[in-house]
Homo-oligomer: A and B are copies of this chain.
Amino acid sequence: MLTFVLMLSFTEENYLKSLFQLTVETALKEEAGTNELAAHLGVKPATVNDMLKKLKEKKLVKYEKYGKSSLTKEGRKIAIEVIRKHRLWETFLFEKLEFSWDEVHEVAEQLEHIQSKKLIDQLDKLLNYPVSDPHGDPIPNAKGELLILHQHTLAEELVGHQCKMTGVKDNSSPFLKYVDQLGLAITKTIKVLARHEYDDLIEIEVNGKRISVSPKLAENIFVVCTACKKKSKR
């Protein structure tokens, strides 16, 4: 069997990854708009426009003029590979090289583009086939299968419920440092004590202490809740 390996640039890989993250991954929708992608990638809409045409040519995205865009099966496959590499590298940096969870993202952004199947498979083996990265995000396996956690954000959690922290939405260093400071971390048990109408703060119990968190913070904390059992949106 002859397999054609189409070589993609770092940039092209990043567009596919962004599109994946804006659609399949965290969001509920199937498509993303040009401006939305531009904001996510930190470039101008005109640039995204050019790239969408190019990626459509290569049959990696579905795109029609003035329409929303989405990944093709092949495009999704590549996006998942990049995400797998990113998260394995993050795990490596955290587990083996003494990086803290707020430091891993930036370096993994570079490492995720290294081309070598053997490298990634061996890294996976060295780390003992981890299922999630330091931020709690699931790591796709070598077949491209991705465990989808039935998680929602802390902001959506009901008063009185107890849940467990499973990850974060925002991977920026300042946010992660703040999370650390508050004593929050993946696997911690969180109980929602109250929601204050007056200033929208959410009062929670964690580590046996009561703290108040902003809705902005709560929206970036993922949790699972057995009490909830609300049907997952994916």
Binding site for B on A (CB under 8 A): 93, 96-99, 103, 106-107, 110-111, 114-116, 118-119, 122-123, 126
Please, how many angstroms separate the alpha-carbon atoms of A87 and B116 in the complex?
17
Find out whether the CB atom of A114 lies under 8 angstroms from the CB atom of B110: yes
Q: Is the interface of A mostly helix, strand, loop or mixed?
A: helix
Please, how many angstroms separate the alpha-carbon atoms of A99 and B117 in the complex?
12
Please, how many angstroms separate the alpha-carbon atoms of A78 and B118 in the complex?
29
* Chain B residue at minimal CB-CB distance from A111: B114
Find out whether the CB atom of A93 lies under 8 angstroms from the CB atom of B107: no
Please, how many angstroms separate the alpha-carbon atoms of A97 and B118 in the complex?
9
Find out whether the CB atom of A118 lies under 8 angstroms from the CB atom of B99: yes
Find out whether the CB atom of B118 lies under 8 angstroms from the CB atom of A103: yes
Chain B residues lying within 8 Å of A123, measured Cβ to Cβ, are: 97
Find out whether the CB atom of A126 lies under 8 angstroms from the CB atom of B97: yes
Find out whether the CB atom of B107 lies under 8 angstroms from the CB atom of A122: no
- Chain B nearest CB from A32 CB (Å) reads 29
Chain B residues lying within 8 Å of A97, measured Cβ to Cβ, are: 118-119, 122-123, 126
* Chain B residue at minimal CB-CB distance from A122: B97
Chain B residues lying within 8 Å of A98, measured Cβ to Cβ, are: 122
Chain B residues lying within 8 Å of A106, measured Cβ to Cβ, are: 116
A114 touches which of B96, B107, B115, B126 (Cβ 8 Å): B107
Please, how many angstroms separate the alpha-carbon atoms of A106 and B116 in the complex?
9
Find out whether the CB atom of B99 lies under 8 angstroms from the CB atom of A110: no
- Beyond A93-B119, A96-B126, A99-B122, 11 extra complex contacts between A and B, CB < 8 Å: A97-B118, A97-B126, A99-B118, A103-B118, A106-B116, A107-B116, A107-B118, A110-B115, A110-B116, A111-B111, A111-B114
